[in-house]
Amino acid sequence: MRNADVRVGLLGFGTVGQGLVQGINLQSKEISRRIGAPLKIERALVQDVKKKRPVSLPELSTDARDILEDPEIDIVVEVMGGEHPAYAYVKQALEQRKQVVTANKLLLALHGLEFKALARLTGTGLLYEGSVLGGIPILRTIQRGLCGDRVEQIEGIFNGTTNFILSRMYDLGEDYLTALRLAQEAGYAEADPTMDVSGFDAACKLVILSRECFKVDVCLEDVTISGIEHLDKRQIAREKKLGRIPKLIARAKPQKAAIRVGVEWLPDTDLLSRVAGVQNALSLRTLIVGELFWRGPGAGGLATGGAVLADVMEAAERVLMERDETF
């Protein structure tokens, strides 16, 4: 084990940032052993340092320079959300050759191609496992496990908030606004929940996954998007009598015209109809392996924090390798 810490700066310390720290606290000795050096969260950027938080950190700051311009910080974890100022912060971190981890699907859907090019140019790492499907470790699986295969179809449930709302409306007859409030209280929803219920959040994830799976430059304009706002509990109750279960389904094929997010009414024989609550699911059809299916928690602090943690550990290994090369 090396003595020098690998130092991490967080941009944001809300649901996901705190979930990451909780995850590290649960496994701290083992994580440091696996990396080969102690992992230290140096400080986090927030809007309000006085806000009460269930998880604490010794140092919070409202000035992004305390993280971006601190030469001791090796890894920048962007978990603040939104396009701006996150865009400028991630760009600056990559330019300064810090390892970057982000869970921000909006930012990646809008600027991921530019960030990837910049990371290649500066020779630094850009990792984003937490940006799609919460705790399901799918990006590494696609990048490594399916590296020789060809994905022919993506289908799945990519938003935990809407699946939670639809499940409660279907199972309990709850109304839309009550279910949405519960999803917000659980930390599943985006800061602006319109992103979830309009289908836009699922579309961002579909863009990121389509790029990974099909190796094409898909963008948000290529996705036909509709959400769940138009559904009410009476319509759901009527369809339930006919054996039809509402799910917000994301679908894509390599042809750009076939990329869409919208409500589908599934029979109970469809595997996706049984994915309930905050769970997400992904079904891939590939040329060599065939049909694959994953299911797991799609949102929430610990689930997403676990995915971000895997990226932080990979970034830490790169930091240590670079240090070894310098000496």
Binding residues for NADPH: 105
Q: Rule CB under 6 A: is residue 17 a binding residue for ligand HSE?
A: no
Name the closest residue to ligand NAP (Cβ): 14
Residues classed as catalytic:
205
Residues in 28-47 at the binding interface with ligand NAP, rule: CB under 6 A: 45-47
Shortest Cβ 234–ligand NAP spacing (Å): 30
Q: Rule CB under 6 A: is residue 112 a binding residue for ligand NAP?
A: no
Q: Rule CB under 6 A: is residue 85 a binding residue for ligand NAP?
A: yes
Residue from 171, 236, 166, 218 nearest 196 by CA: 166
The span of 90-98, 171-179, 182-190, 217-225 binding ligand NAP (CB under 6 A) equals 182-190
Q: How do strand 291-297 and strand 279-286 relate by DSSP bridges?
A: antiparallel
**Calpha distance 201→183 (Å, rounded):** 15
Q: How do strand 245-252 and strand 99-102 relate by DSSP bridges?
A: unpaired
Q: Rule CB under 6 A: is residue 227 a binding residue for ligand HSE?
A: no
Q: Rule CB under 6 A: is residue 190 a binding residue for ligand NAP?
A: yes
Q: Rule CB under 6 A: is residue 133 a binding residue for ligand NAP?
A: no
**Calpha distance 42→68 (Å, rounded):** 12
Q: Which of 196, 222, 249, 319 binds ligand HSE (CB under 6 A)?
A: 196
Q: Six-digit token pair at 246? A: 């509402």
- Contact between 281 and 294 under an 8 Å Cβ cutoff? The reply is yes
Greatest CA separation for the chain = 69
Q: Rule CB under 6 A: is residue 223 a binding residue for ligand NAP?
A: no
Q: Which residues pair with 9 in a beta bridge?
A: 43, 76
Strand order in the sheet with 6-11: 60-61, 39-45, 6-11, 75-78, 99-102, 126-127
Q: Which helix (H) or strand (E) holds 11?
A: strand 6-11
Q: Rule CB under 6 A: is residue 304 a binding residue for ligand NAP?
A: yes
235-244: long-range contacts, CB 8 A cutoff, minimum separation 24: 236/166, 236/169, 236/170, 237/173, 239/265, 240/170, 243/267, 243/268
104 binds, among ligand NAP, ligand HSE, none (CB under 5 to 8 A by kind): ligand NAP
Q: Which of 6, 8, 16, 231 binds ligand NAP (CB under 6 A)?
A: 16
**Calpha distance 36→81 (Å, rounded):** 30
- Contact between 214 and 222 under an 8 Å Cβ cutoff? The reply is no
Residue 133 φ/ψ region, left for φ over 0, alpha for ψ in the -120 to 50 degree band, beta for the rest: left
DSSP per residue, 80-95: S-SSTTHHHHHHHHHH
**Calpha distance 148→195 (Å, rounded):** 34
Of the pair 79, 218, the CB lying nearest ligand NAP is at 79
Q: Rule CB under 6 A: is residue 24 a binding residue for ligand HSE?
A: no
Residues in 121-180 at the binding interface with ligand HSE, rule: CB under 6 A: 134, 159-161
Shortest Cβ 143–ligand NAP spacing (Å): 19
The span of 10-18, 143-151, 224-232, 260-268 binding ligand NAP (CB under 6 A) equals 10-18
Q: Which of 13, 128, 170, 214 binds ligand NAP (CB under 6 A)?
A: 13
Shortest Cβ 301–ligand NAP spacing (Å): 7
Q: Rule CB under 6 A: is residue 305 a binding residue for ligand NAP?
A: no
Per the annotation, binding residues for L-homoserine are: 190
**Calpha distance 164→275 (Å, rounded):** 10
Residues that bind ligand NAP (CB under 6 A): 12-17, 45-48, 51, 79-81, 85, 103-105, 130, 134, 187-188, 190-191, 299-300, 304
Residues that bind ligand HSE (CB under 6 A): 134, 159-161, 188-190, 196, 201, 298-299
